[in-house]
Amino acid sequence: MGENREIQKGVWEGRIPVAFRLSEEDTDGERPEPVYLMVPRISYFPLHTEKINKHFLKYASEKESEEIWLEHDNQPLKWHYPVGLLFDLYGSETSLPWTITVHFKDFPEEELLHCVSKDAVESHFMSSIKEADSLKHRGQVINSMQKRDHKQLWTGLLHDKFDQFWSVNKKLMESSGDETFKYIPYRLYMVDRHYMTNLFRPLTEEGHHQSLKHLLLSAVPQFFNEDEEFQKHVRIHGTEPLLDTPILWLSENFSFPDNFLHLVISDK
């Protein structure tokens, strides 16, 4: 790992300052002060909002605790997307802290998955890792691991333990010689439409490295002009990686803990 460890640690330590406010519809009288929190970009909201929910519930008019959900600027936030992806998608043009409204009523069932407990987050997280390994190694690495290792990936994320997580994750990220990733686990996101993905190989048949630009050219050719210049912006972890970056390197170092590259495409 060496120098890459610093990059992986940088990705891991990204935080977003968030101001959580209780929605007006949820209070009878006094609206409580917002609650401020630094939320890890690579994590999921339900792993961080437990105390906030308890706090706000004291002020909520519905004491029958209906399911909590979050919204920014009338956009319900999908808890199963990592925080940093949601911010790059919906919040990157707003001033900090990122203001998020907490709701207890009218759960938007047509848009959001239910999250009854952290088990739902763990299940989603582990499914993503399995799917990613199916793309990279036909599932051979994740399936050869023990339950203990699977648990360590999850608890590493849950308790924000970089070394604990990466000591197992490095096996999933191994790609040397013939054993390079078969396909790159990635998803492309844009506001107002659901994500896109496709099978994309990191190396050409001749063994040349494919870049981020090649991936975008294959997935969203409509966003390139005649001179093959990308007409949009692509963002991950709050940065715009160079389009020449080899996609294999990005996959190994810039993937979220769920082992996917979640890339946001925007106009600005």
Partner 1 sequence: MAAGSISEDEYWDSIIFFLTLSSKIDSKWTIVDTKDGRRFAKKTEVFILSTENKESTMNDDVIRNTELMEEQEEDTAAFQVRGNSDVEVVTYEYHILYSPSYGVPVLYFNAHTQGGKLLALEEVWKRVPDVYKERLSEERWTFITQQEHPLLGRPFYYLHPCHTADLMKNSPVLTDKRHYIVSWLSAVGPVVGLKLPLEYGKLCVS
Say if residues 237 and 254 touch (Cβ distance below 8 Å): yes
- Stretch 172-201: interaction string toward partner 1, x if CB under 8 A: -----------x-x-------xxx-xxx--
Spatial distance between the Cα atoms of 160 and 154, rounded to a whole number of angstroms? 10
Spatial distance between the Cα atoms of 154 and 258, rounded to a whole number of angstroms? 10
Among 63, 116, 225, 228, binds partner 1 (CB under 8 A): 116
Name the β-bridge partners of 72: 75
Among 7, 57, 126, 203, binds partner 1 (CB under 8 A): 126
Among 3, 110, 178, 226, binds partner 1 (CB under 8 A): 110
Q: Which residues of 206-237 are buried (b: 16+ CB within 10 A; e: fewer)?
A: eeeebbbbbbbbebbeebeeeeeebebebbbb
Stretch that binds partner 1, among 20-28, 133-141, 156-164, 165-173 (CB under 8 A): 133-141
Among 15, 31, 124, 232, binds partner 1 (CB under 8 A): 124
Does 147 interact with partner 1 (rule: CB under 8 A)? no
**Roughly what angle, to the nearest 10 degrees, separates helices 147-158 and 162-172?**
130
Name the β-bridge partners of 44: none
Stretch that binds partner 1, among 88-96, 111-119, 173-181, 228-236 (CB under 8 A): 111-119
Nearer to partner 1, 110 or 178 (CB): 110
Query: Closest approach of Cβ 15 to partner 1, in Å?
Result: 26
Does 29 interact with partner 1 (rule: CB under 8 A)? no
* N-term to C-term CA, the chain: 33
Spatial distance between the Cα atoms of 43 and 80, rounded to a whole number of angstroms? 10
Among 5, 15, 48, 78, binds partner 1 (CB under 8 A): 78
Residues binding partner 1 (CB under 8 A): 78, 80, 109-114, 116, 119-120, 122-124, 126-127, 130-132, 134-135, 138-139, 183, 185, 193-195, 197-199
